[in-house]
Amino acid sequence: AQSVAQPEDQVNVAEGNPLTVKCTYSVSGNPYLFWYVQYPNRGLQFLLKYITGDNLVKGSYGFEAEFNKSQTSFHLKKPSALVSDSALYFCAVRDSGAYTRGGSQGNLIFGKGTKLSVKP
């Protein structure tokens, strides 16, 4: 069964410091991996994705993520954190298997989320 683990409930970082939000995954085949951010009382906002190719993926707002197949990880990173980055971050995975009508490949499996707090 597919699953996503975000081992940290909360990450605290000082503004200007680098940040890392961790994610590990489990899928039967090759994964499609995503990061989303959720601000209070808002829906999820797409940040970046890994489908294939370069293991370092760059996304919105200066975020990037590194895909590591051997460690089954997809950690989210940013070189210099901003107070406005404070939010809830979700990692998600989708199986890259051939799409079939009625199958489960269309849905995303989410982690439980990591709250990022950036202090001035």
Would the CA dihedral through 95, 60, 79, 54 be positive or negative?
Answer: positive
- Environment class of 21 (CB within 10 Å of its CB; exposed 0-12, middle 13-18, buried 19+): buried
49: contact with another protein by CB under 8 A: yes
Q: What is the dihedral of CA 66, 85, 19, 25, to 10 degrees?
A: -40
Q: Which stretch binds another protein (CB under 8 A): 22-30, 67-75, 76-84, 103-111?
A: 103-111
Q: How many CA atoms lie within 13 A of 19 on its CB side?
A: 28
What is d(CA 32, CA 70) in angstroms, rounded to the nearest whole number?
15
101: contact with another protein by CB under 8 A: yes
Q: Whose Cβ is closer to another protein: residue 36's or residue 78's?
A: 36
Query: Looking only at residues 3 through 42 of this chain, which bind another protein when binding is defined by CB under 8 A?
Result: 4, 32, 34, 36, 41-42
- Residue of the chain from 43, 53, 70, 120 that contacts another protein (CB under 8 A): 43
Q: Whose Cβ is closer to another protein: residue 36's or residue 74's?
A: 36
Tokens of residue 12, six digits: 């605290």
Residues engaged in binding another protein (CB under 8 A): 4, 32, 34, 36, 41-46, 49, 51, 90, 92, 94, 99, 101-113
